[in-house]
Every structure is written in C-alpha cells, then in structure tokens.
Amino acid sequence: MTQPTQSYGRFGTTIATQQRNKVLRNTYWLLALSMLPTVLGAWIGVSTGITASLSGGLGLVVFLGGAFGFMFAIEKTKNSAAGVPVLLAFTFFMGLMLSRLLAMVLGFKNGADLVMTAFGGTAAVFLIMANLSTIIKRDLEGLAKWLFMGAIVLMVGAIINVFVGSPAGMAVISVMAIGIFSAFLLVDLKRIIDGGETNYISATLGLYLSLFNIFQSMLALLGLFGGERD
C-alpha cells in the first residue's frame, strides 16, 4: 500500500508544478503582449495631443473612472474568452493616460534619453524581483497587506498633490511608489511561483500595474531632476 501512495504523491506534485509553470509562462507572454497596446496608446496620445486637456480634476476623474472600470471588467471576464481582449483594451487606455507625462518629458532636449532610462530602470527592477522570487522561501502574503495599505496612502497623497501641484510632493510620491510597487512585484511573482495564483489574466494585471507605476514614477523623477531645456 505504501508504494502506490508514494507514486500518487509524486504524480500530484508533478501536476502542481506543471500547472504553476503554465500560469507563469502564460503570464509572461500576456505581459509582453500587453506592452504593444500600451505603446500604441502612448504613441497616439503623444501624436494627437488627445490627453493634453486632461489636467487637474478632470484628468483624475477620467483616469480613476477608466482604470477602476476596466479592472472591474477584467475581474468579471478573467475566466472567459473576453478576458484577454478586455485586459489589452485596459493597457491601451493606460498608454493613453501615460501620454501626457511622456509628452512633457519628450519636450526636454534629452527627453528620449530620459524615457529610455526609465524603461531600462523598470526592466532592471523586474529582473531583480523575478530572481528574488525564485530565491526567497518564506511566504510574503503578510507583506501584501501592508503594501496595500501603503498603496492607499500613496493614492490619497497623489490625489491631493494633483490639486496642490507641488514638485517636492511629486518627488516624494514617486520615490514611495517605486518602493511600494517594486515590493508588490516581488509578492505577486512569488504568489505565482508558489501556486497561489492560478489565473494568468489576474496575474498579468497585477504585474502590469506594478510595472506601469514603477515606469511612470521613474519617468516623473527623471523629468523633475534630469530634464534639460533648450
């Protein structure tokens, strides 16, 4: 009786490992694919200036309404064939929303270099967190609760700063955002590797939001402190 039980245990472990690898693989592919509509949305926004008028309270309402609306729709469709198209539509919207900051940074003499630096920095953070997620053995779910609280405080501070318009406030918020969402990235990757996340659309959404916020925050900091005017 012992041998069949041991064989079944090994078989079950193999299936679980294959399932985790499948979720991780699909998540990485979808994350890479999601960058295409993001870039397209950003390019359209910068080229047409369609988001130039979305400043202050109006921009905040459009961004929060659109983002939370899309995230609700993704949650509802993540187990259906509509899940991937809805996620890609969301990333296109986020690219549009990013275009206003991009246009501002590209207005600097060294704007293109700043964008590439922010992109490289974001990629470096992702690689570091991806490697750490395979090395760290302890469960990080307890950390996720503190990070969520930090994200709420961060969002409130960002909303206030929209109306205050403080460069110093933006710098502090950007630094905090890089730290918080880098940690979120680690927690989400660890959850996928440990088998705690079984839906690759939800997994992609979490990773995408962290990467988006890291890139946006790095770009804002570089624009504040590294922008060179003609």
Q: What is the mean pLDDT of residues 183-189?
A: 94
Predicted local confidence at residue 182, as pLDDT: 95
Q: Residue range 72-101: average pLDDT?
A: 94
Looking from the CA of 53 toward its CB, the CA atoms found within 13 Å total 2
Mean pLDDT of the chain: 88
Proportion of the chain above pLDDT 70, given as a percent = 92
pLDDT of residue 166: 85
Give which of 142, 31, 143 is closest to 88, Cα–Cα.
Answer: 31
Mean pLDDT of 104-111: 91
Residue 50 is given by DSSP the state: T
Provide the pLDDT for residue 8.
46
The pLDDT value recorded for residue 145 is 86
Q: Buried b vs exposed e over 78-102: b needs ≥16 C-beta within 10 Å?
A: beeeebbebbbbbbbbbbbbbbbbb
AA identity, residue 117: T
Rounded average pLDDT over 175-196:
92
Q: How confident is the model at residue 74 (pLDDT cuts 50, 70, 90)?
A: very high
Using the predicted structure, report yes or no on whether residue 105 has a pLDDT greater than 50.
yes
Tens digit of each residue's pLDDT (9 = 90 or more) over 9-42: 554 456 667 778 888 899 999 999 999 999 999 9
Ranking 21-25, 179-183, 215-219 by mean pLDDT, the lowest is 21-25
Question: Using an 8 Å Cβ cutoff, are 37 and 88 in contact?
Answer: yes
Does 189 score more than 80 pLDDT? yes
Q: Tens digit of pLDDT for each residue in 142-172?
A: 888 899 899 999 989 988 888 888 889 999 9
**Which tokens is 29 given?**
């592919």
Q: Where are the domains of the chain?
A: 2-226
Distances (CA, A) of 197 to 21, 85, 86, 103, 226: 11, 20, 19, 36, 39
DSSP string, 166-177: -HHHHHHHHHHH
Query: Would you call 226 helix, strand, or coil by DSSP?
Result: helix
Predicted pLDDT of residue 56:
65
